[in-house]
Chains A and B, each alone.
Chain A
Amino acid sequence: MTDPTCKVNDLGIWLKKQMDEGKFETPRSRQQATEISGFLSEVCQGLAEEDHITAIMKRADFLASAGETAEIRGAGKKIISDVEENLEIFLGHIQTHTCPSGACPMLTPAPCQMACPAGIDIPSYLTLVGQGRYEEAIDVIRKDNPFPWVCGLVCTHPCEFMCVRARMDAPVAIMDMKGLAAEKAMSARQYKNPEPKPDNGHKICIIGAGPGGMTAAYYLALRGYRVTVIEALPVSGGMMMVGIPRYRLPREVIDREVAMIQDLGVEFRFNTRVGKDITVAALEQEGFEAYLLAIGAHGSYKLMIPGEDDFPQVITAVDFLLRVALGDHRPPGRRVAVIGGGNVAIDAARTSLRLGSEEVTILYRRTHDQMPAHHMEVVEAEEEGIQFSFLTIPKKIHGEDGRVTAIECVRAELSEPDASGRRRPVPVEGSNYELAVDTVIPAIGQEVNGSGLERFEDMRWTRRNTIQANTLSMETHQARVFAVGDAVTGPATVVEAIAGGKKAAHAIHRYFEGFPQPKFPRAPTRRGRMAFFQVPAALKADLKRVEMPLLGNERRRITFQQVRLGLDDTQARNEARRCLRCDVCIRCGRCVEICRDKMGINALELGYMDFDHPGKTDLKITAERCIACGACATNCPTGAMQMTDQGGMRVLSLCGTELNRLKLEYCEKCGAVIGPARYHDYIMRRIREISPKLAGKRVCLDCARQETGRRHVEMAPPEKE
């Protein structure tokens, strides 16, 4: 929630207030103002087209120039200036159907979508996966991320950290659902590219075939650009291929998704390092008009301890994983020490184990809970028999005859929390000891290796030795040169690189079109508003998060077979039904408040809705208490809560979750629906005091009125002749 108010919504509220106060006295101006108000409301509901802006401006112009009073003319001018100043926000509402401020209920994106760096419309694709419409799910995902299969297997899934369902039990398995969709669609040969726009003749050079570069290549190719990707390595995929081991991400997965990008006409040149195998001048000569640097962070930080540079058995995790990925399957050694606590350290350790190393130990200077590595990875590594030595700081690498024999470490203690609240490891004096190992793999961080880019003279580098780029447009200080991925962010995640690639593609397109670059972060785009799954409350509450089946541990320790075996259709069907559809229910809590505080019924126990103080959630209690008055549904700003009459029953549902179902009663006279007995009992209880002998007569409102009218009418006897 970047901004608590929304400029579009604000303008609408302001205009309504002016109208209510009677500022638009003359019918002509009032008509114009009413129309503007209607258009603004459509923009806020995602029902607008770009013509709406023109229509608003036309009417505002009229008010500003031909308004009858100074006040009306002033209002017209204000509308014009508000729209002009915030054009990006207005257009954002129209194009993306999202309002990240949360001020426009119909356009408030789900927290998972907001958390996704690529901004994938997660609720929509989960619904499609749950319906078995895998290829459509892939289409939705690929609007924001051309690597659904890769990300379905190895994404750090920040979406799941924000998943609202986690406040009830556990987050929806968003990542695994994506993996399943990609696998199914690919297997059914239904994984398809959208139709690209016609060739526009512009030539773009992308340096680096990693997730960032290839994502930009994909979106640029779709827009009709001629894209060439230059890659130093003999394979595509970047760190996805040479950093992530095969047991997490099979090579076929990368190859198939890259092939999709190649199908769009993107040209790949492998074994070509810019500055060495080809010069920037040569690229210029080829006629490239813009460059995207996506070179990743393939350099390694050094341990800065004695012995580090003296032995060939000290190999950085990046180099080790690269070597293995390119086919060298010799074990690094028998007793391996991996230094570091991140995902790369875990990858290096588990890879060593699979190659045959007898004993693999991860040395980390902090504690288990402070490891930056993903929790599941740590658990799986532990299961496979990787040993961990926490609070351990390497001091020196010992060796004989050019071979490593041991690593000397010192134990550490955590300090008291410092000003930032972080507890730092402090070496314990005199606790030095030696661990007998024959191989040391440092995995303490990567850095960008920028050699070969010297020709981009105006480009600036940060203190961390990353490329300085505008985070909204990915422009560098060098004209026509953009940069994305780890080269800009430092070592990060696949999905962040993908997000950058997408931004860069948009920015490069804007550059060629002559549009100004964005001033605000682009909100994620709502790709649909899928129908709800109709699920009984008990099932919704009781469905547990799907458990990913894993490869047997024995096989995991000796092969590079995929560890996580994937979901099946039934699991996916159920998992999709766990989703709370936060793209529609914005958890404003109005329904809960009304039921509890206004109606005094308290039939909605939806504690998960409160972000700051999540309370108890009990979806099943509603059926016991709810009288089906419908006030919650009437006041729901997004249509998430609905009350409908179907098959003789009145049904209350929240995003398709059936919370209550009561038998309807009918008017004794005309047969019209008059609501369930529990509702009438509630009313009778309230008016018992003043009408103690009320008969249990059940007539509808219309009949009651007609009958009363009939009783009141004086049908006079005929006058005498």
Chain B
Amino acid sequence: MSKYYLFHDQKKCIGCQACVVACKSRQNLPKGPFPSLLITIGPQWVGTRPQMAFAFMPCFQCENPWCVAACPTGAMQRRPEDGIIIVDPNVCVGCKTCMSACPWGSPQWNPETGKVVKCDSCYDRLEQGLQPACVTVCPTACLYFGTPDEIPEVRRERYARAMIHDGEQEN
């Protein structure tokens, strides 16, 4: 993993796709590639209610990335300083081996340039002290980005609240 962590609070997400659009527009991408993708599950019946859920799928920035191992040109690389995995477009020749190697389908194909694009946690924005594009545009503020210790304990808190709430009701 990179030294950062992106947390998606699925409870708050409304599936508006703003993150996906911001991601594409930051990299000026044509039709086709989605460096980050919001996957919609459902609606499906859960118990007595129909439910929908959304999973935000940026690059996980693996600790031991297969894409980097598969890349024969050295274009796909892990930044030593923060562990973010980036593609150097000047080196990438478009062999797509990283795309086939990645178990999560993270590296994407840009048909206009004939090169791979991927989520790079907006490292250029981070260097300017900004948040990744997807995080900044989220209207429900369900995306959190930072070092693991900076991420709020949303899920634990919510779980704790639920427990207390449940206890109150039982009493």
A residues neighboring B (CB under 8 Å): 594, 598-600, 629-631, 634-635, 674-675, 679-680, 682-683, 686-687, 689-691, 701-706, 708-710, 712-718, 720
Contacts and interface: CB of A to CB of B under 8 A. Distances in A.
Contacts of A709: 37, 39, 41, 55, 57
Given A691-B66, A706-B39, A630 B102 contact: no
Contact of B55 (A680, A713, A716): A713
Contact of A708 (B53, B57, B64, B69): B57
B54 interface: yes
A473 to B, nearest CB: 44
A679 B66 CA distance: 15
B51 interface: yes
B105 A713 contact: no
Contacts of A600: 72
B120 to A, nearest CB: 17
B69 A717 contact: no
B80 interface: no
Contact of B46 (A631, A704, A705, A718): A718
Contact of B97 (A686, A704, A712): A686
Contacts of A717: 46-47
B53 A598 contact: no
Contacts of B91: 598
Prevailing SS type, chain A contact patch = helix
Given A629-B96, A712-B55, 12 more contacts: A634-B93, A674-B100, A683-B100, A686-B101, A689-B69, A701-B102, A701-B105, A705-B37, A705-B106, A712-B57, A714-B10, A714-B53
Given A704-B105, A708-B105, A718-B48, A683 B53 contact: no
Q: Which of B11, B44, B114 has the most CB of A within 10 A?
A: B114
Given A712-B55, A713-B41, A675 B100 contact: yes
Contact of B41 (A675, A690, A710): A710
Contacts of B64: 690
A720 B47 CA distance: 10
Interface of B: 10-11, 37, 39, 41-42, 44, 46-49, 51, 53-55, 57, 64, 66, 69-70, 72-73, 91, 93-97, 99-106, 114, 166, 169
A628 to B, nearest CB: 10
20 contacts: A598-B73, A631-B93, A675-B96, A682-B97, A686-B70, A687-B70, A690-B66, A690-B69, A701-B100, A701-B102, A702-B105, A705-B104, A706-B39, A709-B41, A712-B57, A713-B39, A713-B41, A713-B54, A715-B42, A715-B44
Nearest to A706: B39
Q: Which of A679, A702, A714 has the most CB of B within 10 A?
A: A714
Nearest to B8: A712
Contacts of B106: 705
Contacts of A713: 10, 39, 41, 53-55
B114 A634 contact: yes
B10 to A, nearest CB: 5
A675 B96 CA distance: 10
Contacts of B11: 714, 716
Contact of A705 (B42, B57, B93): B57
Nearest to B91: A598
A629 B96 CA distance: 7
A704 B51 contact: no
Contacts of A680: 100
Contacts of A674: 100
Contacts of B44: 715
Contacts of B69: 686-687, 689-690
Contacts of A686: 69-70, 72, 97, 101
Contacts of A594: 93
Contacts of B105: 701-705, 708
Contacts of A635: 93-94, 114
Nearest to A600: B72
B23 to A, nearest CB: 14
A403 B20 CA distance: 101
B12 to A, nearest CB: 12
